[in-house]
Amino acid sequence: MAKTLKLTLKKDLIFEAVKADTYQSGQSIKSDDPVANAAKAYIVQAGDETFHMRKLLRHLRSGLAKFAAQMSEFVDTEDGGIRYTLSDDDAENNIIMEVDVSERYNQGLAQPISSFAEDYVVNVMDHEWWKPINSEKAQSYLLWSKDVLTDIRLCLAKTAPKASESSYTDVTGEVVERNSNDDTDPADPVDPSEPSDSEPSEPTNP
């Protein structure tokens, strides 16, 4: 039997985190030479421009898909699945992700898993953002995303199996006699002291 692990991710917080990461990097670049690096700092910082937001939305879609792929190993294999909807119509900017997992997973850890899921998606988006700009920096975010997956796997450790209602002392055995309509069991050994039912053979002349 499976149960559903419901994760709630905040789209606006994810966008804010990516913008903050890129802004910090841009300001660091600009601090070396504010005049010469001003244009470069502007390019690397994710802003509110339409093309930036469309790019972030594409990276968000990629991050959610990769997270779902990573969670697939925990899905109940009988009839489970992973469901989420990415929509601009949600006034609360919520991304609801439902994962059908084994009943032995702890439902009480859904909240930290949601937080780790946001961290994972942010790192994936940062990786996608920096990949065409600075491949070395992008690789760092990829490694960090893998660290977050370790925390998620720790939260998804299985609980102990449920104890059976049967007691080990209830395990018994008994001898069952075999019933047969035959007077003589063919498996019974023949007593050599009893006369044979077969006719004696004629003596052979030498």
Q: What is the dihedral of CA 144, 147, 152, 155, to 10 degrees?
A: -140
196 pLDDT higher than 60 = no
pTM of the model: 0.76
Strands of the chain (E only): list them: 2-10, 82-84, 94-102
**pLDDT by residue (tens digit) across 108-133?**
888 999 999 999 999 999 999 999 99
CA distances 182 to 76, 178, 186, 187, 188, Å, are 55, 12, 9, 11, 12
Cβ(9)–Cβ(114) below 8 Å: yes
Q: CA–CA separation, 44 vs 142, rounded Å?
A: 18
41 pLDDT higher than 70 = yes
Q: What is the dihedral of CA 66, 68, 69, 72, to 10 degrees?
A: 160
What pLDDT is recorded for position 199? Answer: 57
**Given pLDDT bands bounded at 50, 70 and 90, which one contains residue 190?**
low
Widest CA span in the chain = 134
Q: What are the domain boundaries of the chain?
A: 2-9+53-155
Percent share of the chain, pLDDT over 70: 84
